[in-house]
Amino acid sequence: MKYRQLGSSELQVSEISLGSWLTYGLGVEVERARACLDTAFDVGINFIDTANVYGRGAAESFLGDALCDRPRDSYVLATKLYFPMTDADRGLSRGQIEKQLEASLKRLKTDYVDLYQCHRYDDDTPLDETMEALSKAVRSGKVRYIGFSEWPADRIAAATRLPGVEPFVSSQPQYSLLWRKPEADVIPVCEANSISQIVWSPLGQGVLTGKYLPDGGLPGDSRAASDAMGGFMDRLIQPRVLEAVQQLKPLALEAGLSLAQFSLAWVLDHPNVASAIVGASRPEQVEENASASGAAVDPALFRQAERLIETALAEQK
């Protein structure tokens, strides 16, 4: 496992990190989830990402139980806030940041989180109020660094111009061969401000593993076939896209990688990406994904892959 510096922070995070959206505390049974977490540590993953809203606290509670016997300095723990936890609790106001941070720390059974992230931008709260509250959390010692997920580029830039606040060190966008939108404006503004990307859905919700066939049914144990986990995938499992994904397999083979590893290596090829967050419901998925770290791939293979996917997405519209 290789490690990269996270933005302007002192954190060194594994190139592959373990996420818990739609999985731990929700879609995957506890013992299998623990096995995935144990395997992650065995293969050198040190970065664990979650959020208060995942299973309405269930993912954080699972991690609190599963991590409590490990030395706190042996892993980097990240969580998020913004989405509703109750009918009255949502957003990035000063009061919500204080309340949700305390609740997350209690569920995670820790005194601090290494990275506290704004899960989305809050149009209903002044930016300076959000940034001042986050800065207070850092200065209290309950948070080491702050980040955001899926913020518009102009709001990122605005946050960097505020005086007297703690700097963002990370951005968490959706980014993969199937979704390259952050390249247009989010990544450039982040690069200019020493903010790293820790990307979610680098495998397109599993589509870039190649297991979904254009003319086949959904594998019974797959995320797309799960009532709890598959509702976000309709855009990705269209026949033309799935055909193009199958055409990537010879490129991955030429690189000596599985398609999943090839797709993760593509994400990690971007210099602004510090880590790719993977979800896993089985330990062997963790092992395979972790092996993408440090993979050396001919850039020409990546360019071929980009052309195949770009053509398929254009034809699908």
Cα end-to-end distance, the chain, whole Å: 38
Task: Please give the pLDDT value at position 280.
Answer: 87
Instruction: Give the Cα separation of 300 and 82 in Å (integer).
Output: 40
> For the CA atoms of 5, 11, 17, 18, what is the dihedral angle to 10 degrees?
-170
Q: Which two tokens stand for residue 98?
A: 């204080």
Task: Please give the pLDDT value at position 232.
Answer: 54
Q: Which two tokens stand for residue 247?
A: 């055409």
What single string gives the DSSP state of each residue in 152-183? -HHHHHHHHH-TTSPPEEEE--B-BTTB-GGG
Angle between helices 283-290 and 259-268 (to 10 degrees): 50
Instruction: Give the Cα separation of 139 and 157 in Å (integer).
Output: 22
Q: Which two tokens stand for residue 116?
A: 């506290």
The one catalytic residue among 3, 24, 54, 212: 54
Chain centroid to CA 90:
21
Instruction: Give the Cα separation of 80 and 36 in Å (integer).
Output: 21
Q: Which two tokens stand for residue 62?
A: 């699972």
Q: Which two tokens stand for residue 199?
A: 């990307």
Q: Which residues pair with 275 in a beta bridge?
A: 198
Q: Give SS3 for 99.
A: helix
Instruction: Give the Cα separation of 271 and 92 in Å (integer).
Output: 30
Taking each continuous run of H as one helix and of E as one strand, the counts in the chain are 11, 10
CB-based contact 22:279 (threshold 8 Å): yes
pLDDT by residue for the chain (317 residues), tens only, comes to 999 999 999 999 999 999 987 666 667 788 899 999 999 999 999 999 999 999 999 999 999 999 999 999 999 999 999 999 999 999 999 999 999 999 999 999 999 999 999 999 999 999 999 999 999 999 999 999 999 999 999 999 999 999 999 999 999 999 999 999 999 999 999 999 999 999 999 999 999 999 999 986 655 554 444 444 445 566 788 899 999 999 999 999 999 999 999 999 999 999 999 999 999 889 999 999 999 999 999 999 999 999 999 999 998 87
Question: Is the alpha carbon torsion for 134, 16, 255, 257 positive or negative?
Answer: negative
CB-based contact 141:112 (threshold 8 Å): yes
Task: Please give the pLDDT value at position 316.
Answer: 81
Active site residue 54: yes
CB-based contact 208:263 (threshold 8 Å): yes
Tally Cβ neighbours within 10 Å of residue 143: 24
Instruction: Give the Cα separation of 256 and 217 in Å (integer).
Output: 28
What is the C-alpha R_g of the chain? Answer: 19
Q: Which residues pair with 117 in a beta bridge?
A: 80, 147
Looking at the domain that runs over 3-236+257-295, which CATH code has it been given? 3.20.20.100
CB-based contact 208:175 (threshold 8 Å): no
State the amino acid at position 299 in one-letter form: P
Task: Please give the pLDDT value at position 176.
Answer: 98
Detail the DSSP E strand segments found in the chain.
3-5, 12-14, 16-18, 47-49, 76-81, 113-118, 143-148, 168-171, 196-199, 273-278
State the amino acid at position 52 in one-letter form: N
State the amino acid at position 23 in one-letter form: T
Task: Please give the pLDDT value at position 28.
Answer: 79
